[in-house]
Amino acid sequence: MFKIINPKKTIRFMSFAKLATSLAMALVIASFVIVGVKGLNFGLDFTGGVTIEVEYPNDIELKDVRSKIESLKIDSPVVQHFGSSKIAMIRIKPVEGMDQKVLSTKIFDSVKTLQDGAVLNRVEYVGPSVGSDLVESGIISVFVSLLCILAYVAFRFEWRMATGAVVALVHDTIITLAVFSLFDLEFDLTVLAAVLTIIGYSLNDTIVVFDRIREKARLLRDKSIPEIINVSITETLSRTVITSGTTMFTVLALLFLGGPMIFGFSFALAVGIIVGTFSSIYVASSLAYFLGMTRDNLLPPPPPVRGDDEEFVETLDE
């Protein structure tokens, strides 16, 4: 049995529902415009290119490696330490008119002069066709996941709630993509994994709120839907704050201490946690209410009347 909160202690979230939903829709529209105009800065996973790992006998300064590569008239090289300050991982986008094997050989011949005894650990090539396939697969994976979520929530709860949940997930996803587009951050497979993680994380919060709304609709029969939503969100607020807070602490540790290799992943998660918490509180529940959800929609159907029950009722009538 859920504890019924004193109405005086209930936070009136729905008083700001129209304002919050309008703000969310404005952010979504702006995000679509940003992504449509600027596009995403796809990494080598999607565009294709060369990845070269060079190990030096001693610690190597990344700025020296980057300077050597830029002296070859190669723009925007990505140079990072990989597991050790002695190992430099170099990622180069395709250079027009140059074979990738020739390009990798040319780069290694240049950077190995920084220290005697430099060793080429590995070279990986990603073709443009593979990159385009990954883009297509990523879009399909996000789209299919949203469809499955729509079907699941509609089956378990109600179609208005399912619509609110999917719109909230689109809100979280497109805003995260817009932030990466706006600041020209690299979008690679790790960031795509973070986006899918955000979808699951945000959905979990939304399902918790929806479940409490359904339970309160059965208990608080004299309350309106806005009041039921207020009570439900208030009762789950402590859980939301604790879960989001502890997750954010972990993500911030990865963001500031994890290094450049997982910067995109942790940054996407940080943005997703913020917008996901907002959408779970306002977007999903508010949209379900604006679509006409009533308390009767949340009550279980009455049990079917059996034949002997009908005979008993007729006997009472006689």
Q: What percent of the chain has pLDDT over 90?
A: 28
pLDDT in the model for residue 1: 40
306, part of any domain: no
Q: Which domain holds residue 79?
A: 49-126
- 267 and 202 in a common domain: yes
Query: Average of pLDDT values for 93-116?
Result: 85
2, part of any domain: no
1, part of any domain: no
Q: What percent of the chain has pLDDT over 70?
A: 90
Q: Dihedral (C-alpha) 144, 21, 208, 275: value to the nearest 10 degrees?
A: 70
Spell out the residues 6+ positions from residue 16 whose beta carbon is closer than 8 angstroms to its own. Answer: 282
- 143 and 78 in a common domain: no
- 157 and 280 in a common domain: yes
Using CA atoms, how far apart are residues 176 and 205, in angstroms rounded to an integer? 17
pLDDT in the model for residue 309: 53
Q: Where a domain ends, among 126, 148, 168?
A: 126
pLDDT in the model for residue 318: 53
Length of the chain: 318
- 248 and 107 in a common domain: no
Q: What is the largest CA-CA distance in the chain?
A: 106
Kindly report the three-state secondary structure assignment for every residue of the chain. Answer: CCCCCCHHHCCCHHHHHHHHHHHHHHHHHHHHHHHHHHCCEECHHHHCEEEEEEECCCCCCHHHHHHHHHCCCCCCCEEEECCCCCEEEEEECCCCCCCHHHHHHHHHHHHHHHCCCCEEEEEEEECHHHHHHHHHHHHHHHHHHHHHHHHHHHHHCCHHHHHHHHHHHHHHHHHHHHHHHHCCCEECHHHHHHHHHHHHHHHHHHHHHHHHHHHHHHHCCCCCHHHHHHHHHHHHHHHHHHHHHHHHHHHHHHHHHCCHHHHHHHHHHHHHHHHHHHHHHHHHHHHHHHCCCCHHHHCCCCCCCCHHHHHHHHHHHC
- 53 and 27 in a common domain: no
- List, in sequence order, every residue forming a beta bridge with 90; answer none if it has no partner: 52, 79
- 68 and 29 in a common domain: no
- 15 and 162 in a common domain: yes
307, part of any domain: no
End-to-end CA distance of the chain: 40
The structural domain count of the chain equals: 2
- 179 and 136 in a common domain: yes
pLDDT in the model for residue 178: 95
Q: What pLDDT digit, counting tens, does each position of 140-160 carry? A: 877 887 788 778 877 877 888
- 259 and 195 in a common domain: yes
- 192 and 73 in a common domain: no
The enclosing domain of 158 has a CATH number of 1.20.1640.10
pTM: 0.79
Confidence class for position 119, pLDDT limits 50, 70, 90: very high
- 157 and 268 in a common domain: yes
Q: What pLDDT digit, counting tens, does each position of 45-79 carry? A: 777 788 899 999 999 999 999 899 988 888 778 88
The enclosing domain of 53 has a CATH number of 3.30.70.3400
- 262 and 139 in a common domain: yes
